[in-house]
Amino acid sequence: MQKIIIVGAGYGGIVAALGLEKKFGMSKNVSITLIDRHDYQLYAANLYEVAAAEEELTTVKELKRSIALPFWEVFKGKNIKLIQAEVTNINPVQKTVQAGIQKLEYDFLVLATGSVSDYFGIEGAEKFALPLKRLSDGLRVRNQIEFAIQRHRLDMSKKNIRIVVAGGGYTGVEFAGELPRLLDMVAWKNEYPREKIEVTIVEAMPMLLPGLSPRMSADAYTRLRDLNIRVQLSSRIAKIDEHFVELDSREKMEYDLLVWTTGVKPAVFPISEPIELDRKGRVVVNTFLQVEKYGNIFGLGDNACIINSDGRPAPPTAQDAIEQGEYVSYALPYVMKNKKPKKPYRGKPHGYIVVMGGQWAILNYGGFYFSGRLAYYIRELAALNYYRKVVGLWKAIKYVVFQVTIHSRNN
């Protein structure tokens, strides 16, 4: 029996597992095992909604259900073995994976371990800043915002409360754009002057949404300004302590809450033998997404350096991970037969949709550019398309309707 192990059940890992199961699900000669430390897949694109949700309008259970897709729903009736465990060792020579107390043998391995928050070695960042990467992070940010207001509501001087968002990229602008509605509600509930709550985005680059188009950056800036959110560009953070963010310019910014959205780095996978990594720590793969030194190991998603058709590394987006997962489910069966896949991976640049407060978004996709409510609805259709691939159309519709219902309560 040929044994396939997939480490990591994010977008790419799940799509690869389902694609392989379609090809081998009825075969008694192939086994597919998926390992993840959670029992659900996080729909990370909506994590900012959890962080900006008012507790009076929803529950933790509803919030979790809105962005956490249980594995039992995805893999019900599928010939895929699920193991919830932390992978502590991968031995490519012995072809084994240590997952919790289990030592598993494999013939083919797919590394889809994803990414973690990157603090760029900035002093104090990991200790004092709140990341926004996991479900627990979103819930913690939401709670800390309310705690900050409650701490100051009996203060006779009614000092300003300062929320600083470190990073003006995708996550930073979406989170900041959603904050005003939460702050309106929490300030009213705690009888705190709303005008004394400030939100500032600090971005090291001279534009918002670095890497995207200048037009999107300009429109995002205008939208944030209309929402009374301050944007401070060309401001690289040098050091952080319990109360202040210090910039390279020596300027100090006082804060009550610091949310870290500056970027991600590949999650470390514990492999016992050296393999080639790029300067960002991603495993280097060839055009068939194989690790050069070990042709029976594939890499995809945020933890792999995959060169797109434009000659640039694929960005850490869900769209790219999904396409890479689909490709692995195509290429791996060829390799299992000692054949070269007929087509190499040809990833292409994608467009973007950025939601910035309520049912309002900016869309730059396939030559189309516009903003407003229609762009938001198109983004929900993109979510529907992903859920359709993993749980079928009817369940996908129910999931997206539930998400929109829960997340629109802040609007």
Nearest Cα to Cα of residue 38 among 154, 133, 143: 133
Would 2-37+85-117+265-350 and 130-261 be classified into the same CATH topology? yes
CA distance 34 to 27: 17
pLDDT at 411: 64
pLDDT band of residue 140 (cuts 50, 70, 90) is very high
Nearest Cα to Cα of residue 331 among 385, 390, 286, 271: 286
- pLDDT, tens digit, 9 for 90 and up, residues 119-137: 999 999 999 999 999 999 9
Taking the domains of the chain in order of start, what are their residue ranges? Answer: 2-37+85-117+265-350, 130-261
pLDDT at 44: 87
CA distance 287 to 305: 11
- pLDDT, tens digit, 9 for 90 and up, residues 307-349: 999 898 999 999 999 999 999 999 999 999 999 999 999 998 8
Q: What integer is the mean pLDDT of 82-106?
A: 97
Across the chain, what does the average pLDDT equal?
93
CATH code of 2-37+85-117+265-350, in short, is 3.50.50.60
- The correct answer on CATH 3.50.50.60 for the domain covering 130-261 is yes
Q: Which segment of 20-24, 29-33, 267-271, 372-376 scores lowest on mean pLDDT?
A: 267-271
- pLDDT, tens digit, 9 for 90 and up, residues 184-211: 988 998 888 899 999 999 999 999 999 8
Q: Are strands 2-7 and 108-111 parallel, antiparallel or unpaired?
A: parallel
| The pLDDT of residue 410 is above 90 | no
What length is written for the chain? Answer: 411
pLDDT at 151: 86
What is the radius of gyration, based on Cα positions, of the chain? Answer: 22
Nearest Cα to Cα of residue 174 among 81, 64, 261, 69: 261
8 dihedral zone (left: phi>0; alpha: psi -120 to 50; beta)? left
**Alpha helix (H) ranges present in 123-213?**
125-128, 135-152, 170-189
Q: What integer is the mean pLDDT of 354-372?
A: 92
